[in-house]
Amino acid sequence: MNMIPVTILTGFLGSGKTTLLNRILKEQHGQRIAVIENEFGEAGIDNDLLIQDRDEQIVEMNNGCICCTVRGDLVRILGELHAKKEVGTLNFDRVIIETTGLADPAPVAQTFFVDEHITSQYLLDAVVTMVDAKHAGLQLDEHHEAQEQVAFADRILVTKTDLVSTEELADLRKRLIQMNPRAKVAVSRNGQTSIDDILDIRGFNLNAILEIEPDFLTDVDHVHDDDVTSFVFRETKSMDLGLIEEFLDGVVQVYGTQLMRYKGIKLETPRTS
């Protein structure tokens, strides 16, 4: 009864994880949430996009994927959060882990069963996977991580459905059900979905996972190849957004489908009187 419920929020790049997380943070559900935010690149962007005007505790894990290079940091952060909760310096009711879009959720979920301290403190409630209706076909064809995100899901939320036809959406839904018949598939528009359908659902079933991957509890090795890399550009001077758009258009024309995603944040310089 004293175990802290954890939701793993996963999904490939651009599927809408941060949008859904903001929706959860704004909801009047009466729960205090600790958020663990993982960014593949060295600079965190999504943390600046999250609602931070309430009691949520947000912890960033940058410059690596939560399922491999920074997995030890996940164990450490979970331990520190629990210790602070025990002594009363931090008060939260549950944890949401937003993985990088390149993460395989299996090693993340495994953390809650192979580390004895984490196992006694936290309960893995569910793996919620976001799927981009527009790009899911190509992503599922080409990326093992996208396949694993669907296979390990307890809930699947399909986003960007307004960008595809009814027939395309029906075909995608059929494919998702074939890949994971036990997960409920629903549509999420702009992060809008029933909170009761994704939190405190006790959806994670270890026995079902062992049927998919019999070595789930014993195989702790996981690494990415170097097919995907990230690059961060920083500038402290004022920049012309029109020129930036022209530059990005040129990059897209030259590199095309080799680019998975780019994103940035504009920081305003405080005015002094």
| Residue-range domain boundaries for the chain | 4-212
Cite the DSSP H helix spans in 43-129: 46-49, 71-87, 105-114, 116-121
Mutual angle of helices 144-151 and 105-114, in 10-degree steps? 50
Which carries the bigger pLDDT value, residue 266 or residue 139?
Answer: 139
Query: pLDDT value at position 123?
Result: 96
pLDDT confidence band for 51 (50 / 70 / 90): very low
Percent of the chain predicted with pLDDT > 90: 38
Per-residue pLDDT for 63 more than 50? no
Is pLDDT at 251 greater than 60 in this prediction? yes
- pTM for the full predicted model: 0.79
Q: What is the pLDDT of residues 66-84, one digit of tens each?
A: 555 556 788 888 999 999 9
Residues 146-169: what's their mean pLDDT? 95
Instruction: State the average pLDDT over residues 14-25.
Output: 88
Residue with the bigger pLDDT between 223 and 273: it is 223
pLDDT of 101 above 90: no
CB distance 227 to 7 below 8 Å: no
Mean pLDDT of 106-112: 88
Q: Which CATH class is domain 4-212?
A: alpha beta
Would the pLDDT of 266 be above 50? yes
Residue 123 sits at φ, ψ, to 5 deg, of -120, 120
Joined together, the tokens standing for residue 183 give 């997960």
Distance of CA 200 to the CA centre of its chain: 18
